[in-house]
A and B are shown apart, each in its own frame.
Chain A
Amino acid sequence: MPEQFIWGMEVFLNGLMAGVLYALVALGFVLIFKASGIFNFAQGVLALFAALTLVGIMEGQVPFSHLINAVFGTDVHHFGWTVPALAAILLTMLVMVALAWAVNQFIFRHLVGQEPIILFMATIGLAYFLEGFGDMMWGSDIKKLDVGLPQGINSVIDEVTYNIFGYGFFIDNLDLWATLVAALLVIALVLFAQFSKHGRAMRAVADDHQAALSVGISLKFIWVMVWSLAGFVALVAGIMWGTKSGVQFSLSLIALKALPVLMLGGFTSIPGAIVGGLIIGVGEKLFEFIIGAPYLGGATEIWFAYVLALVFLVFRPQGLFGEKIIERV
């Protein structure tokens, strides 16, 4: 059994790291939901779009090259230069801010005060538009993303665990980095929301539009800011997932994995998104290892998260950290 236990520990650690990646996507949802009550179905596509743009800029791809070539009969594909990763990340962030502005200007500004379901539908439309737009802008082939993050087995952990247990744990360097980045991101976001003027304004807007206006908060500014933040989180998630498994259109599906994370953590809590992500990550890996593979024929990772979320919905609908809604009677 000790051997089983040691393997279990390795599975547990890998689960934690996978959970961090889920949490990164869930975080983008929480930000927008907190500030505008919009459940943003497009968050996954946002991550895809960010990753596509990042790769495109780094490789000096000509945007809309297919369209340009078709209209003007030219044959351009690349500018012939490459952009360093850090500069490309900054440029991509500018694109995400511009996107945030456009999303507000052309969609959500016109939907103020509409039912949540209408807003939700709008984000579905946005998701598919953005997927097609990203395709048109940067092409649809699978791309490799390398911003210089270390990848492969972490030899230190391998060695240390080998010396202790007689068995070396396989922990990917990329996962370690993702964990570190996500942790920093969450701490920064929580502090920003709690202790800065615009963070407070963001919470104020989420709470009561009219009251926010009366103290001098511009709703438009806050919404653009929040969508930009969500774009930034999407960029980080896009970099991590893109480095791990290549930038491809299935990236947009990670949004679906974020749903159970949100149900666990609560739709309105930033720390909740993290804890929810970790529980799902660890839960599905351990379940597969202990019960799924030996007894159920494996592949339980596909559905475990959703079943867990279902159980939570029954017993604690507001999630672990969500605000319990109490109405005075």
Chain B
Amino acid sequence: MNDMTPDGYTTEDGRKIGAVVMEMRNITLRFGGVVAIQDISFDIREGEIRAIIGPNGAGKSSMLNVISGFYHPQEGEVWYKGAKRPTMKPYEVAQQGIARTFQNIALFEGMTVLDNVMTGRIRQMNAGLLSQAIWKGKAEREEVENREVVEKIIDFLEIQHIRKTPVGRLPYGLKKRVELARALAAEPSILLLDEPMAGMNVEEKEDMSRFILDVNDEFGTTIALIEHDMGVVMDLSDRVVVMDYGKKIGDGSPDEVRQNQAVIDAYLGVAHD
């Protein structure tokens, strides 16, 4: 975390991190009397892997839902690409280039892997209804072009062998990977991952970590992820936000966070007793 400038910084392994693409300013989210997020600010820079960690109930998932438009904070502002974002519905946020996965996996179970990933391309396809209905001109061209992109992503995530399988039949680990593929197909400006390793065995976790790093490396995708598993997070991410009881208690590089006393007390201490 040296050379921190407004334009970005260079990581220890030599990757160039760009300017701030998203900024949360003093976000407060309440459900009735329960404060889920209390006055939290942080930013996400272009090309980085940004983690949000914290014990159970810390408000991590709520924060992700605020970013993706599923929750609307009572106070605070979301700044995206240099402009304040108005209150938006989730599908509008998605159309702006913020793709996400879900902790409990939200795939279209009855559809094939290929179709699922193709839905990720909706933002890139804008042929009119009529053109689609007669399947000529723009609609046909678009379908073919987008299919090519999707096939590349399917290859990249090594799920070619299950392309035509209905998602409902797949085991958990593969479903997670299909969900990642669908989010990736949107070529998002920011990719939000909600506990991408939850419920996985060691081998699956290693695979997923590798894919996340590869995605970031290959496509330069900005990734914000929530994770429970401290070890995984520290290896993966460039910068980490630590939450506890809805408050931010730490923010910085993995090393900085590791040495932060508040973090050790709240999180590591609990995790290792």
Contacts and interface: CB of A to CB of B under 8 A. Distances in A.
Nearest to A207: B108
Interface in A190-233: 191-192, 195-201, 203-204, 206-208, 210-219, 225
A213 B110 contact: no
A107 interface: no
A203 B111 contact: yes
B106 interface: yes
Contacts of B123: 216
A188 B100 CA distance: 33
B37 to A, nearest CB: 20
B122 interface: yes
B108 A211 contact: yes
Interface string B106-130: 1111110001001111110101010
A217 B118 CA distance: 12
A326 interface: yes
A159 interface: no
B107 A211 contact: yes
A283 B207 CA distance: 56
A195 B135 contact: yes
Contacts of A215: 94, 99, 119-120, 122, 182-183, 186
Contacts of B121: 197
Contacts of A212: 91, 108, 119
A195 B115 CA distance: 9
A195 B143 contact: yes
Interface string A310-329: 00000000000001001000
A142 to B, nearest CB: 34
Contacts of B110: 203, 206-207, 323
Specify the main secondary structure of chain B where it touches its partner: helix
Given A208-B106, A218-B91, A201 B129 contact: no
A218 B70 CA distance: 13
A301 to B, nearest CB: 36
B70 to A, nearest CB: 8
Contacts of A218: 89, 91
Contacts of B94: 213-216
Nearest to B134: A188
Nearest to A196: B132
Contacts, number: 93
B129 A211 contact: no
Interface string A165-196: 00000000000000000000000100110011
A200 B115 contact: yes
B87 interface: no
Contact of B139 (A196, A206, A207): A196
Contacts of B68: 214
A188 B133 contact: yes
A101 to B, nearest CB: 14
Contact of A214 (B90, B111, B143): B90
Contacts of A216: 91-92, 94-95, 122-123, 186
Given A198-B129, A203-B111, A208-B106, A214 B99 contact: yes
B142 interface: yes
Nearest to A205: B108
Contacts of B70: 210, 213
A207 B115 CA distance: 12
Contacts of A188: 133
B106 A214 contact: yes
B106 A326 contact: no
Contacts of A198: 129, 132
A192 B110 CA distance: 17
Contact of B129 (A217, A225, A323): A225
Contacts of B183: 215
**Chain B CB within 10 A, most for which of A191, A196, A216, A217:** A216
Contact of B107 (A192, A196, A208, A213): A208
**Chain A CB within 10 A, most for which of B109, B110, B182, B183:** B110
B168 interface: yes
Contact of A200 (B89, B118, B135, B168): B118
Given A200-B115, A207-B111, A215-B186, A192 B91 contact: no
A219 B89 CA distance: 11
Interface string B52-72: 000000000000000010100
B102 interface: yes
15 contacts: A192-B133, A195-B135, A196-B133, A197-B142, A198-B129, A200-B111, A200-B122, A206-B110, A207-B111, A208-B107, A212-B119, A215-B122, A216-B95, A216-B186, A217-B122
Kindly list the 5 A-B residue pairs having the minimum CB-CB distance in the complex, ordered from nearest.
Answer: A216-B94, A211-B106, A207-B108, A196-B132, A213-B90
Given A191-B135, A197-B142, A213-B90, 8 more contacts: A192-B132, A198-B129, A200-B122, A210-B106, A213-B91, A214-B90, A218-B89, A219-B91
Interface of B: 68, 70, 89-92, 94-95, 99-100, 102, 106-111, 115, 118-123, 125, 127, 129, 132-133, 135, 139, 142-143, 168, 182-183, 186
Interface of A: 188, 191-192, 195-201, 203-204, 206-208, 210-219, 225, 323, 326
